[in-house]
């Protein structure tokens, strides 16, 4: 099948360090907030740890071979802060820097552009102990870490993601406690928005000073739908849209926070030139998209002013009603973002994908459901481009089945099946589909 994607459109796939690497106790790695989180009784549905996960720290070459076999333009992977600065400050851990340097060399030798993320949700516990993202100083510490990494890799890596999905860190890490560090501050979590965006801006400056050419962050965006066409549901949907999407997009794209006070929230802890720095910090705008969110007005005894409910009338992924499938929502959100922000920089879809129930043991998986999901969302991207949105790249989450955070090994997102008992990797039908799609687009580009 041919999708109407423009010449030069890039195809990528992603993983993240804590979800694939394992080897949590080697080469001087420090503890991260996820090491603490996963030890809490009942925190992880299957009681698993992220060790060995895909054992990728010991065998990066097998992941690189799979990335190269797809013909990817870029491979999005992440670097663990707790490996580089075990105590969250000070000199870089040379053994860990060498490791990531080797990953970069393997990718370059295989013809795949390395596209690292500096922060995919795991911070050294020493930084969290000082307040984590509630503390403004974390922004400067993050920039120090970014400087160490670019100093080592910047001769070969010129494209960088700073933070992955600050919205999930705020909403699930600090507001509800579903992800590390497991804080339950509800709206008390809001300062973590500003401190993360400031950290992104400070890291942008450090990476640029180290010669980086293309720097951005990747926001998780959802398309928010009111359950009923009533004032109450529309107001609830508006509030959710503010705290999931717009409080992250508007400072980056317009240099201003949306009017939070009119919704009853405290103002952001903004100082002097923060907003100018945040606004000047994007070469591209990264978007991770998985599903729409349907919102209704809050139940009378609820501590939060909206309720999230299943999206009626659409299929779902392995997460059930929590993860509805609606590709048109991706098109609608891209078109809406461009309408709100005519100066939108080039967009990169940094993650998109789905989990489905699949066997644990090694074997070929005929995942037509994943192929349908990915095809639908790529078609939505093509429609958004047709409508005038400059989307340059699409990234599948994930190259490999991996450790799905609080869901442990129970949700499989990979183009490649991983048997977590033996480490065996088996490309799924979706792997072949993506490889062929990329090859076909390359042929068309060459014509
Ligand atoms: C995260 C990934 C995660 C994926 C599926 C994204 O929000 O960046 O780490 O595995 O969603 O849940």
pLDDT digits (tens, 9 = 90+) for 113-172: 999 999 999 999 999 999 999 999 999 999 999 999 999 999 999 999 999 999 999 999
Q: How far is the CA of 310 from the centre of ligand 1 (A)?
A: 19
The model's pLDDT over 341-365, given as tens digits with 9 standing for 90+, comes to: 999 999 999 999 999 999 999 999 9
Q: Does 291 fall in a domain?
A: yes
Instruction: List the CATH number of the domain containing 130.
Output: 3.20.20.80
Instruction: Tell me the pTM.
Output: 0.98
Backbone angles phi, psi at 415, to 5 degrees: -80, -20
Q: Examine the residue annotation and report whether 322 is marked as an active-site residue of this protein.
A: no
| Annotated catalytic residue, options 21, 122, 128, 165 | 165
Percentage of residues in the chain having pLDDT higher than 90: 97
Ligand 1, atom 9, lies closest to the CA of 16
Burial label, 370 (beta-carbon count in 10 A; 0-12, 13-18, 19+): buried
2 has a pLDDT exceeding 90: no
Strands 391-397 and 347-351: what pairing?
A: parallel
What separation in Å is there between the alpha carbon of 232 and the centre of ligand 1?
31
Phi, psi of 250 (to 5 degrees): -70, -40
β-pair partners for 397: 14
Supply angle C-alpha 318, 323, 348, rounded to 5. Answer: 110
Number of domains within the chain: 1
Whether 4 maps to a domain, the answer reads no
In a domain, 43, yes or no: yes
Label residue 3 by pLDDT band (50, 70, 90). confident
Range of the domain at 231: 10-446
Closest residue to atom 5 of ligand 1, CA basis: 404
Within a domain: 2: no
User: Mutual orientation of helices 94-109 and 60-70 as an angle, nearest 10°?
Assistant: 30
Q: Is residue 165 part of a domain?
A: yes
Task: Specify which residues 348 forms β-bridges with.
Answer: 286, 393
Rg of the chain, C-alpha, whole Å: 21
pLDDT given for residue 447 in this prediction: 85
Residue 1: pLDDT over 70: no
Residue 124 corresponds to which tokens in the numbers above?
Answer: 């050294």
Whether residue 52 has a cis bond before it, omega within 30° of 0:
yes
* 347 is a domain residue: yes
Model pLDDT, residue 224: 98
**pLDDT exceeds 70 at position 21:** yes
pLDDT at 196 over 70: yes
Say whether pLDDT at 368 is over 60: yes
Residue 5 lies in a domain: no
How far, in Å, CA of 148 to CA of 272, rounded? 27
């Amino acid at each position: 099948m041919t999708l109407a994607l423009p010449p030069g459109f890039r195809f990528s796939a992603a993983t993240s360090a804590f979800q694939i690497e394992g080897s949590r106790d080697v080469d001087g790695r420090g503890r991260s907030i996820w090491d603490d989180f996963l030890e809490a009784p009942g925190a992880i549905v299957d009681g698993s740890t992220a060790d060995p996960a895909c054992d990728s720290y010991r065998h990066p070459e097998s992941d690189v071979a799979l990335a190269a076999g797809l013909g990817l333009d870029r491979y999005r992977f992440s670097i663990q802060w707790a490996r580089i600065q075990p105590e969250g400050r000070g000199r870089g851990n040379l053994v860990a820097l060498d490791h990531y340097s080797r990953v970069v060399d393997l990718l370059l030798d295989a013809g795949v552009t390395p596209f690292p993320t500096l922060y995919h949700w795991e911070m050294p516990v020493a930084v969290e102990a000082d307040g984590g993202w509630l503390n403004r100083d974390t922004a400067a510490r993050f920039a120090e870490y970014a400087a160490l990494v670019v100093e080592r890799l910047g001769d070969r890596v010129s494209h960088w993601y700073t933070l992955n999905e600050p919205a999930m860190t705020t909403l699930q890490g600090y507001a509800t406690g579903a992800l590390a560090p497991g804080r339950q501050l509800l709206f008390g979590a809001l300062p973590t928005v500003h401190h993360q965006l400031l950290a992104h801006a400070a890291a942008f400056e450090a990476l640029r000073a180290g010669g980086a050419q293309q720097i951005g962050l990747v926001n998780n965006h959802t398309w928010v739908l009111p359950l009923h066409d009533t004032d109450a549901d529309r107001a609830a949907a508006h509030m959710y849209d503010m705290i999931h999407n717009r409080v992250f997009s508007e400072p980056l794209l317009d240099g201003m926070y949306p009017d939070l006070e009119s919704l009853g929230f405290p103002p952001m802890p903004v100082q002097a030139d923060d907003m100018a720095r945040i606004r000047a910090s994007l070469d591209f705008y990264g978007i991770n998209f998985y599903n729409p969110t349907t919102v209704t007005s809050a139940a009378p005894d609820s501590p939060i002013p909206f309720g999230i409910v299943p999206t009626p009338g659409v299929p779902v992924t392995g997460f059930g009603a929590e993860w509805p499938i609606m590709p048109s929502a991706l098109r609608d959100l891209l078109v809406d973002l461009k309408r709100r922000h005519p100066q939108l920089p080039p967009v990169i879809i940094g993650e998109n994908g789905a989990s489905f129930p699949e066997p644990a043991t090694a074997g070929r998986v005929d995942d037509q459901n994943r192929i349908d999901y990915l095809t639908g969302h790529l078609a939505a991207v093509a429609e958004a481009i047709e409508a005038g949105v400059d989307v340059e790249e699409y990234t599948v989450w994930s190259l490999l089945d991996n450790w799905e955070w609080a869901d442990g090994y129970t949700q499989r997102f990979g183009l490649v099946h991983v048997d977590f008992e033996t480490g065996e990797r088996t490309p799924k039908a979706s792997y072949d589909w993506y490889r062929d799609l990329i090859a076909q687009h390359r042929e068309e580009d060459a014509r």
